[in-house]
Amino acid sequence: MVEKPDKRIRVSLIEDDEWIRENLAAQINRRKGLAIGKCYATAEAALGTIAAEPPEVVLVDINLPKMNGIECVRKIKALLPETQILMLTAYEDSEKIFKSLLAGASGYLLKRTPQNEILQAIEDVYRGASPMSGHIARKVVQYFNQRGVSEDEIEKLSNREREVLDRLAEGIAYKEIADALGLSIDTVRMHIKSIYSKLHVHSRGEAVAKYLLK
Protein backbone atom coordinates (compact mmCIF):
# COMPACT_ATOMS: atom_id res chain seq x y z
CA MET A 1 0.00 0.00 0.00
CA VAL A 2 1.30 3.44 -0.93
CA GLU A 3 1.44 5.69 2.14
CA LYS A 4 -0.59 8.85 1.76
CA PRO A 5 1.61 11.95 2.08
CA ASP A 6 1.06 14.27 5.02
CA LYS A 7 -1.40 17.07 4.36
CA ARG A 8 0.16 20.45 3.65
CA ILE A 9 -1.52 23.59 4.97
CA ARG A 10 -2.34 25.85 2.03
CA VAL A 11 -1.38 29.46 2.74
CA SER A 12 -2.16 32.64 0.82
CA LEU A 13 -0.55 36.07 1.23
CA ILE A 14 -2.07 39.51 0.76
CA GLU A 15 0.86 41.93 0.88
CA ASP A 16 1.60 44.92 -1.35
CA ASP A 17 5.38 44.91 -0.76
CA GLU A 18 6.71 42.64 -3.51
CA TRP A 19 9.96 41.76 -1.73
CA ILE A 20 8.21 40.76 1.49
CA ARG A 21 5.55 38.84 -0.43
CA GLU A 22 8.00 36.85 -2.53
CA ASN A 23 10.47 36.21 0.29
CA LEU A 24 7.80 34.99 2.70
CA ALA A 25 6.14 32.89 0.00
CA ALA A 26 9.45 31.14 -0.65
CA GLN A 27 9.97 30.49 3.08
CA ILE A 28 6.46 29.05 3.41
CA ASN A 29 6.95 26.74 0.44
CA ARG A 30 10.21 25.40 1.90
CA ARG A 31 8.59 24.58 5.24
CA LYS A 32 7.54 20.96 5.62
CA GLY A 33 3.78 20.81 6.07
CA LEU A 34 3.09 24.17 4.40
CA ALA A 35 2.30 25.00 0.78
CA ILE A 36 2.01 28.46 -0.72
CA GLY A 37 -1.19 29.18 -2.60
CA LYS A 38 -2.13 32.36 -4.42
CA CYS A 39 -0.38 35.61 -3.46
CA TYR A 40 -1.96 39.01 -3.95
CA ALA A 41 -0.80 42.63 -3.89
CA THR A 42 -4.23 44.08 -3.09
CA ALA A 43 -7.37 43.18 -1.19
CA GLU A 44 -9.42 43.65 -4.35
CA ALA A 45 -7.34 41.11 -6.27
CA ALA A 46 -7.63 38.60 -3.43
CA LEU A 47 -11.38 38.96 -3.03
CA GLY A 48 -11.88 38.44 -6.74
CA THR A 49 -10.45 34.90 -6.80
CA ILE A 50 -9.67 33.60 -3.30
CA ALA A 51 -12.92 31.64 -2.98
CA ALA A 52 -12.09 29.60 -6.09
CA GLU A 53 -9.13 27.94 -4.34
CA PRO A 54 -9.76 28.51 -0.63
CA PRO A 55 -6.61 28.60 1.51
CA GLU A 56 -6.64 27.31 5.07
CA VAL A 57 -4.60 30.24 6.38
CA VAL A 58 -4.21 33.76 4.99
CA LEU A 59 -1.58 36.32 6.04
CA VAL A 60 -2.88 39.85 5.54
CA ASP A 61 -1.02 43.15 5.69
CA ILE A 62 -3.06 45.83 7.43
CA ASN A 63 -1.79 48.73 5.29
CA LEU A 64 -2.99 47.66 1.84
CA PRO A 65 -3.66 50.22 -0.93
CA LYS A 66 -7.31 51.16 -1.49
CA MET A 67 -9.24 48.66 0.67
CA ASN A 68 -7.33 48.25 3.93
CA GLY A 69 -6.43 44.96 5.56
CA ILE A 70 -9.12 45.18 8.25
CA GLU A 71 -11.95 45.46 5.74
CA CYS A 72 -10.29 42.74 3.67
CA VAL A 73 -10.34 40.40 6.68
CA ARG A 74 -14.02 41.11 7.27
CA LYS A 75 -14.88 40.25 3.65
CA ILE A 76 -12.71 37.11 3.57
CA LYS A 77 -14.38 35.78 6.73
CA ALA A 78 -17.78 36.37 5.12
CA LEU A 79 -16.67 34.40 2.05
CA LEU A 80 -14.61 31.74 3.83
CA PRO A 81 -15.63 31.45 7.50
CA GLU A 82 -13.39 28.40 8.09
CA THR A 83 -10.25 30.11 6.81
CA GLN A 84 -7.92 31.34 9.55
CA ILE A 85 -6.37 34.80 9.21
CA LEU A 86 -3.14 36.18 10.62
CA MET A 87 -2.43 39.90 10.50
CA LEU A 88 1.22 40.55 9.68
CA THR A 89 2.12 44.20 9.93
CA ALA A 90 4.55 46.86 11.04
CA TYR A 91 1.83 48.59 13.06
CA GLU A 92 1.48 48.35 16.84
CA ASP A 93 -1.55 50.64 17.01
CA SER A 94 -3.96 49.24 19.63
CA GLU A 95 -7.05 50.45 17.78
CA LYS A 96 -6.01 48.67 14.59
CA ILE A 97 -5.09 45.51 16.48
CA PHE A 98 -8.51 45.41 18.13
CA LYS A 99 -10.37 46.16 14.90
CA SER A 100 -8.48 43.35 13.14
CA LEU A 101 -9.52 40.87 15.82
CA LEU A 102 -13.09 42.15 15.74
CA ALA A 103 -13.13 41.71 11.95
CA GLY A 104 -12.22 38.04 12.35
CA ALA A 105 -8.42 37.75 12.50
CA SER A 106 -7.21 34.97 14.79
CA GLY A 107 -3.74 36.35 15.44
CA TYR A 108 -1.59 39.44 15.01
CA LEU A 109 2.16 39.40 14.41
CA LEU A 110 4.65 42.13 13.64
CA LYS A 111 6.61 41.93 10.38
CA ARG A 112 9.84 42.02 12.35
CA THR A 113 8.86 38.73 14.02
CA PRO A 114 11.53 36.12 13.11
CA GLN A 115 10.44 34.13 10.08
CA ASN A 116 10.60 30.78 11.87
CA GLU A 117 8.11 32.17 14.42
CA ILE A 118 5.82 33.38 11.64
CA LEU A 119 5.91 29.92 10.04
CA GLN A 120 5.16 28.31 13.40
CA ALA A 121 2.29 30.75 13.92
CA ILE A 122 0.76 29.62 10.62
CA GLU A 123 0.74 26.04 11.88
CA ASP A 124 -0.56 27.12 15.28
CA VAL A 125 -3.47 29.18 13.94
CA TYR A 126 -4.45 26.32 11.63
CA ARG A 127 -4.63 24.01 14.65
CA GLY A 128 -6.81 26.38 16.64
CA ALA A 129 -4.42 28.66 18.54
CA SER A 130 -4.45 32.48 18.52
CA PRO A 131 -0.82 33.50 18.08
CA MET A 132 0.18 37.04 19.02
CA SER A 133 3.52 38.66 19.71
CA GLY A 134 3.88 39.04 23.49
CA HIS A 135 3.70 42.81 23.59
CA ILE A 136 0.87 42.77 21.03
CA ALA A 137 -1.16 40.61 23.42
CA ARG A 138 -0.48 43.11 26.21
CA LYS A 139 -1.66 45.98 24.00
CA VAL A 140 -4.90 44.11 23.29
CA VAL A 141 -5.47 43.60 27.01
CA GLN A 142 -4.71 47.28 27.68
CA TYR A 143 -7.20 48.25 24.97
CA PHE A 144 -9.93 46.18 26.56
CA ASN A 145 -9.05 47.68 29.93
CA GLN A 146 -9.57 51.16 28.51
CA ARG A 147 -12.90 50.17 26.96
CA GLY A 148 -14.09 48.35 30.05
CA VAL A 149 -15.37 44.80 30.21
CA SER A 150 -18.61 43.84 31.90
CA GLU A 151 -18.07 41.32 34.69
CA ASP A 152 -21.60 40.10 33.93
CA GLU A 153 -20.37 38.82 30.56
CA ILE A 154 -17.70 36.65 32.20
CA GLU A 155 -20.10 35.41 34.87
CA LYS A 156 -22.45 34.12 32.17
CA LEU A 157 -19.86 31.52 31.15
CA SER A 158 -20.45 28.01 32.46
CA ASN A 159 -17.65 26.16 34.26
CA ARG A 160 -17.06 24.03 31.16
CA GLU A 161 -16.92 27.13 28.93
CA ARG A 162 -14.34 28.65 31.26
CA GLU A 163 -12.28 25.46 31.04
CA VAL A 164 -12.39 25.65 27.26
CA LEU A 165 -11.52 29.35 27.23
CA ASP A 166 -8.69 28.86 29.73
CA ARG A 167 -7.09 26.48 27.26
CA LEU A 168 -7.74 28.75 24.29
CA ALA A 169 -5.94 31.50 26.22
CA GLU A 170 -2.95 29.14 26.55
CA GLY A 171 -2.89 28.75 22.76
CA ILE A 172 -4.05 25.12 22.82
CA ALA A 173 -5.66 23.81 19.63
CA TYR A 174 -9.27 22.59 19.49
CA LYS A 175 -8.28 18.90 19.16
CA GLU A 176 -5.99 19.10 22.20
CA ILE A 177 -8.72 20.86 24.20
CA ALA A 178 -11.13 18.07 23.30
CA ASP A 179 -8.63 15.41 24.38
CA ALA A 180 -7.77 17.20 27.64
CA LEU A 181 -11.43 17.65 28.64
CA GLY A 182 -12.69 14.30 27.37
CA LEU A 183 -14.97 15.95 24.80
CA SER A 184 -15.58 15.53 21.10
CA ILE A 185 -14.20 18.29 18.89
CA ASP A 186 -17.79 19.11 17.84
CA THR A 187 -18.68 19.68 21.50
CA VAL A 188 -15.67 21.96 21.88
CA ARG A 189 -16.83 23.95 18.85
CA MET A 190 -20.33 24.16 20.36
CA HIS A 191 -18.88 25.57 23.60
CA ILE A 192 -16.78 28.09 21.65
CA LYS A 193 -19.82 29.25 19.70
CA SER A 194 -21.62 29.80 23.02
CA ILE A 195 -18.58 31.65 24.43
CA TYR A 196 -18.55 34.02 21.44
CA SER A 197 -22.24 34.74 21.94
CA LYS A 198 -21.94 35.40 25.67
CA LEU A 199 -18.84 37.60 25.35
CA HIS A 200 -20.22 39.40 22.27
CA VAL A 201 -17.12 38.60 20.20
CA HIS A 202 -16.52 37.13 16.76
CA SER A 203 -13.08 35.50 16.87
CA ARG A 204 -10.75 33.47 19.07
CA GLY A 205 -8.31 36.34 19.39
CA GLU A 206 -10.96 38.73 20.66
CA ALA A 207 -12.45 36.14 23.03
CA VAL A 208 -9.05 35.34 24.54
CA ALA A 209 -8.13 39.00 24.95
CA LYS A 210 -11.43 39.76 26.67
CA TYR A 211 -11.16 36.75 28.96
CA LEU A 212 -7.70 37.78 30.12
CA LEU A 213 -9.35 40.69 31.91
CA LYS A 214 -11.56 38.52 34.12
Same domain, 159 and 121: no
Residue 42: its pLDDT value, please? 95
Residue 2 lies in a domain: no
Same domain, 162 and 131: no
Comparison of pLDDT for 25 and 89, the residue scoring more: 25
**Mean pLDDT of the chain, nearest integer:** 81
* Single residue among 142, 174, 194 that ends a domain in this structure: 142
pLDDT band of residue 100 (cuts 50, 70, 90) is confident
Residue 80 belongs to domain spanning: 9-142
pLDDT band of residue 124 (cuts 50, 70, 90) is confident
Same domain, 131 and 184: no
Same domain, 113 and 158: no
* Residue among 133, 145, 127, 75 nearest 107 (CA): 133
Residue 59: its pLDDT value, please? 96
